Amino acid sequence: MRVTYEAAASFEPSTTSGSATVLERSAVIDLDAIRHNVRQFVAIASPANVMAVVKADAYGHGAVQVARAALEAGARWLGVAHISEALALRAAGIDAPMLAWLHTTQSNFQAAVAAGVDVGISGWELDAVVAAAREQERPARIHLKVDTGLGRNGSTIAQWDKVVSQAMEYQDEGLLRVVGIFSHLAVADEPHRPETDEQLAAFREAIAVAEDAGVDTEVRHLANTPATLSRPDAHFDLVRVGLGLYGLSPFEGQNSAELGLRPAMTVRTLVSNCKRVSEGQGVSYGLNYRTSSESALGLIPLGYADGVPRVATGGPVRVNGVNYPVVGRIAMDQMVIDLGNAVTDEAGWLGAEAVMFGDAPTAARRRTTGPPPPEPTTMRLSPVSAHACRASISMRPRGRMPGERGLD
């Protein structure tokens, strides 16, 4: 897989007649959409600042390019899971504040301290980070994480006093600076759930405990994308925006367009086969889907090896301006759409452009066509695509899609 910064560049060409070059599979990243989405969140979160979450190669959109676009649009922080991801951004010349929060005993804390990367601390990491600070002869920058109910990393409430006290001892020795306190929400994408209120109360209590111990942080942060959109009382000093940065809605029943967001990735391919079938024709492994009447089936050469989740069955693929449902199981490198009675000339559909999501209405309507699963699952080619997707990727640095009206 190659990445280019030229708009509308073409890779992985094939020919239908030996002369006409077409794209077999392509993913176009619209950096203007990233900028637009960041500006939306900056306005929503103000006066809190925005952390653009660019982990997993920016959800497959290209970490360095997305990070730069997000910072240009007003994000003040960058967030990643692993220190190695932060170091790659530093190596690309990005010097904005950034936080890495997921570590193992083999994580390179020395490099993080040397590069000025903030490190999330749940408890056990504290001594390792302090050892790195001593080795580098410079104080580490840390954010203390408290588990308010998600049950993943973060100090337990029972251990919070101890973690805070130990961190303050090291800070008094000049070995670190407690830059932030943070936690993560479990069900903010379901606004009616009471657990978010419970987590918010626990987070406020953890902040109070830390402040009583003398902690004076620069940032307190709890809100993810759904909480940024729906819970202003959870904004504190900083919000962490992941899904929303890429134009994805975290809410069931509410699409990206309704939130004022623009999907940043458009995935296109070509119909590779088309044939008419009789009523009752089984489709794909398991034959779990059978046609309800005489129909036509179109074969799409994308599958879970390209990052399309198998649970995306039922979601639409747009061909010739119309959405058609994915039917049957999604295989490793192909899936099938039911074209119904739209096909009269099968050969005429061969090579037709198929859009999975992106600038076409497919992205905004993915929830409302058929019985698709939640959008963050069906929409996200992303983390897999950065490493395994066989689609060529192009960057659209600036400029809108043809016919697109300004949303900025």
Q: Residue 42 falls within a domain, yes or no?
A: no
pLDDT in tens, 40-64: 999 999 999 999 999 999 998 999 9
The long-range contacts involving 150-156, CB below 8 angstroms and separated by at least 24 positions, are: 150/183, 150/184, 150/185, 150/186, 150/199, 151/186, 152/184, 153/101, 153/102, 153/120, 153/122, 154/122, 154/183, 154/184, 155/122, 155/123
The mean per-residue pLDDT over the stretch 394-399 comes to 57
pLDDT in tens, 367-390: 333 333 333 333 344 433 433 445
Residues 6+ apart with CB under 8 A from 283: 289, 290, 291, 297, 327, 328, 336, 338
Report residue 76 as tokens: 């003040």
**Claim to verify: residue 350 and residue 386 sit in the same structural domain:** yes
Res. 397 pLDDT band, cuts 50 70 90: low
Q: Residue 184 falls within a domain, yes or no?
A: yes
**Catalytic choice (55, 246, 289, 324):** 55
Handedness of CA 265, 361, 12, 314 (dihedral sign): positive
- Minimum mean pLDDT among 4-8, 125-129, 291-295, 337-341: which range? 4-8
Confidence check: pLDDT of 81 > 90: yes
**Claim to verify: residue 91 and residue 166 sit in the same structural domain:** yes
Q: What is the pLDDT of residue 144?
A: 99
Confidence check: pLDDT of 70 > 50: yes
Q: Residue 119 falls within a domain, yes or no?
A: yes
Q: Residue 254 falls within a domain, yes or no?
A: no
Q: What is the pLDDT of residue 10?
A: 34
What one-letter code names the amino acid at 119? V
pLDDT in tens, 174-209: 999 999 999 999 999 999 999 999 999 999 999 999
**Claim to verify: residue 232 and residue 93 sit in the same structural domain:** yes
Q: How many domains are there within the chain?
A: 2
Q: Decide which of 246, 280, 296 is a domain's last residue.
A: 246
Q: Residue 33 falls within a domain, yes or no?
A: no
**Claim to verify: residue 59 and residue 162 sit in the same structural domain:** yes
Compute and round to an integer the Cα radius of gyration of the chain.
Answer: 24
Instruction: Specify the CATH number for the domain of residue 13.
Output: 2.40.37.10
- Minimum mean pLDDT among 6-15, 44-53, 272-281, 283-292: which range? 6-15
Q: What is the pLDDT of residue 392?
A: 58
Annotation marks residue 5 as catalytic = no
With beta carbons less than 8 A apart as the criterion, state whether 196 and 224 touch: no
Confidence check: pLDDT of 129 > 50: yes
Q: What is the pLDDT of residue 408?
A: 25
With beta carbons less than 8 A apart as the criterion, state whether 112 and 119 touch: yes
What one-letter code names the amino acid at 202? A
**Catalytic choice (5, 59, 170, 285):** 285
Q: Decide which of 246, 280, 303 is a domain's last residue.
A: 246
Name the residue range of residue 289's domain: 3-28+263-396
Res. 361 pLDDT band, cuts 50 70 90: very low
Q: What is the pLDDT of residue 169?
A: 98
**Claim to verify: residue 186 and residue 292 sit in the same structural domain:** no
Confidence check: pLDDT of 11 > 70: no
Mean pLDDT of the chain: 86
Q: Decide which of 246, 276, 300 is a domain's last residue.
A: 246
With beta carbons less than 8 A apart as the criterion, state whether 326 and 336 touch: yes
As a whole number of angstroms, the distance between CA 102 and CA 93 comes to: 22
How many distinct helices (H) and strands (E) make up the chain? 12, 22
pLDDT in tens, 260-280: 999 999 889 999 999 999 999
Grouping H, G, I as helix, E, B as strand and the rest as coil, residue 373 is: coil
Query: How is 320-387 classified by DSSP, letter by letter?
Result: TTEEEEEES---SS-EEEEEET--S-GGGGTT-EEEEESSSTHHHHTTTSSS---HHHHS--HHHHTT
The mean per-residue pLDDT over the stretch 346-369 comes to 66
Token pair 């708009």: residue = 7
Q: Residue 234 falls within a domain, yes or no?
A: yes
Res. 161 pLDDT band, cuts 50 70 90: very high
**Claim to verify: residue 242 and residue 329 sit in the same structural domain:** no
As a whole number of angstroms, the distance between CA 296 and CA 277 comes to: 6
Annotation marks residue 285 as catalytic = yes
**Claim to verify: residue 164 and residue 293 sit in the same structural domain:** no
Q: What is the pLDDT of residue 357?
A: 72
Cβ count near 156 (within 10 Å): 14
As a whole number of angstroms, the distance between CA 212 and CA 209 comes to: 5
